[in-house]
Each structure stands twice: as C-alpha cells, then as structure tokens.
A and B are shown apart, each in its own frame.
Chain A
Amino acid sequence: MRALFPRSLFPALMGLLAALAGAASEMRFPPPEFETDYTMPGITTPPPRSLAMEYVDTALLVTALGLAAWLVHRRRSRRGLVALSVFSLVYFGFIRTGCICPIGAPQNVALGMFDPGYTIPLTALAFFLVPLVFSLFWGRTFCAAVCPHGALQDLVLIKPVKVPLWIEQGLGIVPFIFLGLGIWLAATGTAFIICRYDAFIPLFRMNGSVFGLALGGIFLAAALFIGRPFCRFLCPYGALLRLGSIVSRKAVRITPDYCTQCRLCEHSCPFGAIREPVKLPVTPNALAPERRRLTWLILALPVLIAGGAWLGSKLSVAAAKMHPTVALAEQFLAGDKAPAPATALPTPETRALGRAAETAPELIAAASEVRRRLGIGGWWFGGWVGLVIGARLISLSLRPNRTDFEPDRGACYACGRCYLACPNERVRVGLITPAEAAALQAHAPVPRPDVKTS
C-alpha cells in the first residue's frame, strides 16, 4: 500500500471534536490537519416530505371524497366527476406517485395490529378509514373520482365490452382473496404484496422495473375495452368498499324520481352494474327450489370455511419463503450441506449467508417464529377464502328485491354515466322536454314478458 499517512494527529478543535476523539483512534488514517485555509464541506441531508404535507394530502382526500359524494348524489353530474377524476389522477397519481394510498393501507393497518414494533402513520390510518367511512354513507365515492387508479382506467375507457355475468361474478371474488392474502402476509411481516403487484404505481412514477411497467401497460390496454379491470377483478381495497357500499345510507339511483322501466339505461353502465327489476313468481311454490338451494348453500358454508382453512394451513410453508428471514435461514441450512467455493467473488447471496453464519441461532429462531405465525395465519386466510366463496354462492342464490332498474349497490362505482341515459333525468336537467322524453320511452326496447332474475 502506497497510502500517504497524514502527518499530524488531531485537529485543534477539541471541544467540537470531543465526540470524535474516541472514534478517531480507530481510524486507519487520522483526519488531516490542513495548513491551507481549507473548509471542510458538510454532508447534505435533503429532508423527506414534511409531515405537514402528509396532513395536506389527508385534507385533500377528505375534500375530494366530499366533493365526489356531492357530485354523485346531489349534483348528479358526470362532467363534474370527470373533472374531479382528472384532478385526482394528476395529484394523487402523477404528483404524489402513490405511497401510501388506501389500496395498500390495509397492509399497514394489519402490520400495525400484529407487530408492536411498527407504528401505523396517522396518515396511513386516515387513508385506510376515511374512504371506508364515506362508503358507508355515500357508496363508492372513492372509486368514483378520487382514486387515481380508478380515474386512470375510467378516463381511458373508449370502447366498453360487456363482460359475461358469470365471469364478472367468478372473477369478482379475486379482490377478496387478494385482500385476505395481503393482510395475511403483511400481518406476519412477510411481504406487502398488494403494493408489489400494484399495476399503476410504476406508470404514475414513470419509472420502475420492467415487470411493473409491463403489468401497468397490460392493465391499461385492457382498460380501453374492459371497464376498470383492476378495480373489478383485483383491487383489494375495492373489495372493502364494496362491502361498505352494500350497506351504504345513500345508493346511486339512475332516475331522479320515477322509473318508467323504459330500459334506456340498461346498457349505459360499462361495468355491468345495472340490474334488471326482478319479477316475483306467481305462485309461492315456485320459490321452493331456490329456497332449497339456499338452505344447502348455507349448510355448506361451514364446510367450505373448514376446508379452506385446512388448505390454507398447507400454504404457510410456501408463503414463508417470501419472508426474507425465512428465505435466508432456509438457504443457510441448505448451504450447510454444500458449501460454496471460497474462491468465488462475493455476491449479495454469499454476503447474506455470511451474516446468517454469524447470527445463525437467532436467525433460525426468528425464522421458525415467522413460520409459526404464518401457520396460524394460514388457517385464517384459508377460512376467509372459503367464506368468500360461500358468501358469493349464497348471494347469487338470494332473490334480489328490485322493482326498478338499479345499479348493484356493491358493484356500482358511482361514475355517473347512467344518469343522462334516463329520459326523466334529461328532463330534470332541461336537456329535453317531457314530451320528447315520452317519445323516447315509446321507442325504447319493449320489456320482455319473462324478466329473468339476474
């Protein structure tokens, strides 16, 4: 080594560098004492986004949700919702670029509940709860125009294709399963998969891995023709909002006052959320097969839950591999049998294994604790999947109580597209006269005599 050793030992600034003095003795090359009037530059520490800005975000979220609720229920304005969507897309999407958003927030909440070492940021808690509380009163106003993911898909939808109802209902349980999986893995500190497989965050950042950007591109391309594919078939937070929206105080009504059953609105919803009225059968006996099916399904529910729980418990070993500690411990234990050649250049893996070797007992203990917790969680997750499937089957067997054309409370994103499809609404906003509305309704498709259950 040709290193030139600095000549003097310590700078004279004893007071300032008192803390350094002890440490400096460990230094291989003591800090120099400069003879010229050199001033030492300091380390720059660019600060993170301030907490105040986080509160601004929360306030904006609440304001946007309130505005969306007003636009959906009082103003009944699709145009206003589009304008708000554009704002949300620009601000929450492209400017804020994502974290923490309500979609991933359930994971923070789950981790906060189960890991005492993790503090849920207040903003994460607010982002989780506020849209949910809004959904209990005004339906999915968050999806309507506040969520940047929803806004992006909604704005690019150019030619909606009708998704068959069986696909809609079948894939519709995926968000619930994804939610359960996300909570299970987050609560055990294994992974935040909802964030990892988020389709649009890489697009909002305009930066990211090839996989992330490709996933975003695929969903965006699909969204041109299939209305909101991410919201309908993947979004785990949408699953929660759907539950809230089912029991919400106010639901979207297509007509402002009186449904003439003219069917003009029937195809106005690109998300397949508008449901036909249900005609009651003439004789009460006709309901008997339906009742029998429902009874069987309710009886099958505990079986589904138990079976799911058992299967879920089998998943825990596979899931544990996603936990960094478990993965390293397993690699370490496997490596005991076949040690890597010592001559090889260090890789991240060998460095991690080096750390594993130093802390082997703690590492293995920590890994088995994670496995144990994932095992318990696996029962819950599997049971949840069973419950979701059972509940969907039961809900399909329930006879809806619908006398008008109405959006399905859970599936409706409150986008406001159907409002102007209703002639009565067009009269209300002054686009046409009542006489024109009557003419429209006269030419509307004739209701089929056998209105079937949906």
Chain B
Amino acid sequence: MSHPAPNPSSVSRRQFLREGMRLAAMTGAGAFVGLSSGRTGAREHYVWQIDPTKCVYCGNCATACVLKPSAVKCVQAYEICGYCDLCTGYFVPEPNALNTGAENQVCPTAAIERKFIEDPYYEYNIIESRCIGCAKCVEGCTRFGNGSFYLQVRHDRCVNCNECSIARVCAGDAFRRVPASNPYFLKTSAH
C-alpha cells in the first residue's frame, strides 16, 4: 500500500486482532478435527435403507421421496416366495379371474410380471422402471402370504439425501442409515 495510513498504530492493532483471530480459528479447527476424529467413519459411509421388519407399508415411500418417482422400489425375495397361483401381492382381494387383467392386479402401475413356471407355480418379478414404491403389493404379500415382496431403497436411484425426506414421515420408523458396504436388507425369513 503506497498510501501511508493516517494512524499506523490503529492499523497494526486491527492487524493484530485479525491475525489473532485467524490463529484462534485455526486452533479451533485443529482441535475440532482432533475431537471428532474418533467419531468419523473414515472407512465407511452410510446410506439410507428400510428395515423390512419395521415397514408398515403405509405408502409414504411413493409420495415423500425427493425423486419422482421414488427411489424406493419393491423387491422380490425369491427364496421365500411361495410362487402361489393366487398371489395376494399380485391380485386384488376376490379377483374376477387369476389372469393378468388390469382389474385383477393390485399394482397401480402393472409393475409386477407374472410368469408361469410349472403347474401350479408362478414367478413374480418386479419391473423396477414401473414400480413407484407404493407398497400395495407388499401389504398383500406380507399380510396374507410369505412376505417375499418388501420395500428397499434402490441405490442406483437414491441420491442419498443428507436427511431422507421419507424417513422424516415414515409411519413405521423403518428408515435408518446403514453402512454403504452392506446397503440392503436381504430378507431370508418370512415376516
């Protein structure tokens, strides 16, 4: 600065204050890192997931997600599926006929594929691009069947919000942060 300050002593005082505060801030930051180093997860980060044992299939997953359509989808645990002809996750109560007619399906978006395997077994697959995570099939399967349909946050879609907006309104309090290395609940037993 080529202009001499009119009051050099006051400039140096402010300079001193500024430097002191910067030093204090740096010390604070260092202390903070030291304090929180025990608390941080260096080797792990966390993602949101639904605990299927707590899910009450309320339908909020379809509406509350910041993504439209939701990042929550139904998944099928084939190992515990009964491959029933009358699938209570696929068919509405008292269906007219056990066929793929839209009026018989519980899924509002026809996201479940019903495939004949052998008499009397049918395979049910979720077409994820159609699924909106409304949990209507989950309710049918869990209440009357084996519970092989269940909701999961799909991590190819989930943007991992800092605060999951579905978790905030989840009726079953089923959302939790899980380690990203093990990001799914794999259902191996009924209910």
Contact = CB atoms under 8 A, between A and B. Distances in A.
Interface of A: 1-4, 6, 17, 19-20, 22-24, 26-32, 34-36, 38, 40-43, 45-51, 54, 97-100, 104, 107-109, 112-113, 118-123, 125, 129, 132-133, 136, 191-192, 195-196, 202, 205, 207-209, 212, 243-244, 246-249, 257-259, 280, 324, 346-349, 351-352, 354-355, 401, 403-404
The DSSP consensus for interface residues of chain B is loop
Given A29-B84, A348-B169, A244 B191 contact: no
B188 A19 contact: yes
Interface in B140-159: 144-146, 154-156, 158-159
Contacts of A121: 40-41, 44-46
A38 B81 CA distance: 14
B26 interface: yes
B40 A120 contact: yes
Contacts of B186: 43, 45
Contact of A401 (B10, B120, B161, B171): B10
A192 B86 CA distance: 44
Interface residues of B, number: 83
Contacts of B5: 401, 403
10 contacts: A32-B83, A43-B78, A47-B180, A50-B180, A51-B45, A132-B29, A247-B22, A348-B171, A403-B5, A404-B1
A109 B86 CA distance: 51
Contacts of B68: 207-209
B67 A3 contact: no
Interface string B67-91: 1100000011111111111101000
A108 B162 contact: yes
B50 to A, nearest CB: 14
A29 to B, nearest CB: 3
Nearest to B189: A23
The DSSP consensus for interface residues of chain A is loop
A20 B183 CA distance: 21
B121 A205 contact: no
B86 A1 contact: yes
Nearest to A121: B45
B127 interface: no
A45 B186 CA distance: 9
A393 to B, nearest CB: 19
A401 B79 contact: no
A244 B186 CA distance: 47
